[in-house]
């Protein structure tokens, strides 16, 4: 486990145990989900409590692609800098040129978050989650570069 301070009372948690926390908050995944060893996660800790997490799964280094999933207990985590720190992981550290997300079509808050980060709707997976459709959203590294650089300015 690694904990990095990112502001007063705010930390970024880098720990694979975050996967269980994330899975428990995504109805289409559920507690005890088997990530098949193909996922890693980061989280946001505010005032000693985990409030959000992002899983990176199905990383394909050959094609510089990864899929992400977000979960949160509170919108308090979603500062521009924290989002940038989360996204710097797949885009900079993993070297991905493309990041994808598959989201339940009725999950408006995550869709709004992703679109605010520059993700574009790319398709619909009909009845992907039982009776619920899923949206596929994608972000290319060059689309993220301007806002990511601005948000990360001055950070070490």
Domains and their CATH numbers in the chain: 2-152 (3.40.630.30)
**How confident is the model at residue 145, as a pLDDT?**
83
pLDDT < 50: residue spans in the chain: 156
Q: Where are the alpha helices (DSSP H) in 3-140?
A: 18-23, 80-88, 108-116
CA distance 33 to 94: 23
Q: Are 151 and 80 in contact (CB under 8 A)?
A: yes
Helices vs strands, H then E, count in the chain: 4, 8
**How confident is the model at residue 16, as a pLDDT?**
67
pTM above 0.75, yes or no: yes
**How confident is the model at residue 154, as a pLDDT?**
57
Can you give the C-alpha Rg of the chain in angstroms? 15
Q: At which residue do the structure tokens 């009372």 appear?
A: 9
**How confident is the model at residue 77, as a pLDDT?**
79
């Amino acid at each position: 486990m690694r904990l990095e301070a990112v502001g007063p009372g705010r930390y970024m948690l880098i720990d694979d145990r975050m996967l269980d926390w994330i899975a428990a908050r995504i109805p289409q995944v559920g507690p005890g989900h088997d990530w098949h060893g193909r996922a890693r996660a980061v989280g946001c800790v505010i005032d000693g409590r985990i409030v959000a997490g992002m899983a990176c799964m199905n990383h394909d280094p050959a094609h510089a692609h990864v899929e992400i999933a977000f979960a949160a207990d509170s919108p308090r985590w979603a500062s521009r800098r924290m989002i940038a720190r989360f996204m710097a992981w797949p885009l900079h550290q993993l070297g991905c040129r493309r990041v994808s997300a598959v989201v339940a079509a009725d999950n408006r808050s995550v869709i709004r978050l992703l679109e605010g980060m520059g993700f574009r709707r790319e398709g619909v997976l009909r009845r992907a989650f039982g009776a619920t459709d899923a949206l596929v959203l994608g972000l290319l590294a060059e689309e993220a570069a301007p806002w990511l650089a601005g948000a990360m300015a001055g950070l070490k």
